[in-house]
Amino acid sequence: MRIGLNAVGFTSGAMGGVETYFRQLLHHLQTDNDVDDYMVICKNSDVDSFKLHNPRFEMKVYNIGKPTLSWLMRGVLFEVAHVDIIKPSMNQLPVDVIHHPFTILEPLGLKIPSVLTFWDMQQEFYPDFFTKREKRFRKYTYAASAQQAKRIIVSSNFTKECLVDRYGIHPDKIDVIYTGIGDEYRPITDSAILTAVKSRYRLPDVFIYYPAALWPHKNHRTLLDALCLIRDRYGLVVNLVLSGMSTGRTGELRTEILKRNLQDTITVLGYIPYEELPCLYNLATVMVYPSLFEGFGIPLVEAMACGCPVVCSNRTSLPEVVGNAALLFDPLSVDEIASRIFNTLNDAVIRRKMSVNGLKQAERFNWRETARLTQAVYGKACS
């Protein structure tokens, strides 16, 4: 087969777990492939973002990266008339199937069979979290992409059920393939490495960790309220470390922290280099994840693979990902979040048990298996 990997919608450093997925998939497809030919389709601004180390992989580059004239024209034409200027060229690509890994077919209406990785449809459940423009874009592209795709890959049964229930997609068209976890996520025994990271970021000895971009569904405010409740009800001051993309909301977050008088116990790190994340999970006493909506939840697997106990939301895909390895809570209940955090921090026996169960649960998620099963879907799409 000759397979296209469509990275036209790639934006380095601004995609969270979806970026991790594509980078890891590209790496493992190259590592475990000596049969098929691949074409990575991308913007000129992203050529250096992808490392190709397999001679069966090549690049197809479109000069539409920001801030070129083509980038501007493409954006205007799509906004006004839903016309994508790269569509005629993409229809001529010498490939048997194109994998679109970022929830939408870009562009819609290609003649070449498409495999679509569909992440979530959060706007169907929380429309108020999105601008009118973003809702308009998703309304035009999401359902149509799912309907036009020859095969759909999802990372959880929850997302599969959403596609069936909300968009009327036949379940036989959908393959559930769990996202993997890199070997770098593991318990770190070298204290010097951990000490260096702890010193660099001035981290406390005991802290809970929440790695999440500052999107509304990540539910930071409710977590802050839970920390206030722990302080006021139990007399326990909890140190919280936050990391992730700011999405332009860091100022709002700091205002909320000051409003609750939590500024002395919260460390806002912002974006952390990928190679340092395993150290953060190893240093954390507990990882907390109060998200309202997730198609998967890569940080949960990263934490479990590092032996970090997890307490998380009981919504959407998260119970499926953590199995019996985490303590769950209602993400809208300040009382429940506070109780789970307090009980976990104050019981070393529970934390050890959660750590052991988490390491076992994390073994279910493997990038090589993700890549192998994805290759099988390419074959289905071509048949």
Confidence of residue 17 (pLDDT cuts 50, 70, 90): confident
Is the pTM higher than 0.85? The answer reads: yes
Confidence of residue 13 (pLDDT cuts 50, 70, 90): confident
Q: Domains in the chain, start-ordered, CATH in brackets? A: 2-180+366-382 (3.40.50.2000), 191-362 (3.40.50.2000)
DSSP calls for 175-221: EE------TT-S----HHHHHHHHHHTT--SS-EEEE--S-GGG-HH
Distance, in Å, from the CA atom of 221 to the CA atom of 256, rounded to the nearest integer, reads: 7
- Size of the chain in residues: 383
User: Using one digit for the tens of pLDDT, what is the confidence trace for 229-266?
Assistant: 999 999 999 999 999 988 889 999 999 999 999 999 99
Per-chain mean pLDDT for the chain: 95
Distance, in Å, from the CA atom of 187 to the CA atom of 95, rounded to the nearest integer, reads: 42
Q: What is the enclosing helix (H) or strand (E) of 249?
A: none
Q: What is the pLDDT, as a whole number, of residue 109?
A: 96
Q: What is the pLDDT, as a whole number, of residue 34?
A: 87
CA dihedral 154, 158, 161, 162 (to 10 degrees): -80
Q: How far is CA 85 from CA 82, 103, 133, 168, in A?
A: 10, 20, 21, 30
Min mean pLDDT across 10-19, 162-171, 326-335 is at 10-19
Q: What is the pLDDT, as a whole number, of residue 14?
A: 77
Kindly give, in sequence order, each residue whose CB lies less than 8 Å from that of residue 9, ignoring residues fewer than 6 positions away: 102, 104, 106
Q: What is the pLDDT, as a whole number, of residue 245?
A: 83
Which two three-digit tokens encode residue 113? Answer: 């069979």
Average of pLDDT values for 49-66? Answer: 94
User: Using one digit for the tens of pLDDT, what is the confidence trace for 337-367?
Assistant: 999 999 999 999 999 999 999 999 999 999 9
Contact between residue 281 and residue 185 where contact means Cβ atoms under 8 Å apart: yes
User: Using one digit for the tens of pLDDT, what is the confidence trace for 77-100?
Assistant: 998 999 999 999 999 999 999 999
Average of pLDDT values for 370-375? Answer: 97
Residue 24: name the closest of 383, 298, 266 by CA.
298
Q: Please, what is the angle between helix 348-362 and helix 334-345, to 10°?
A: 100
Distance, in Å, from the CA atom of 151 to the CA atom of 37, rounded to the nearest integer, reads: 19
Q: For the chain, what percent of residues have pLDDT higher than 90? A: 91
User: Using one digit for the tens of pLDDT, what is the confidence trace for 264-303?
Assistant: 999 999 988 889 999 999 999 999 999 999 999 999 999 9
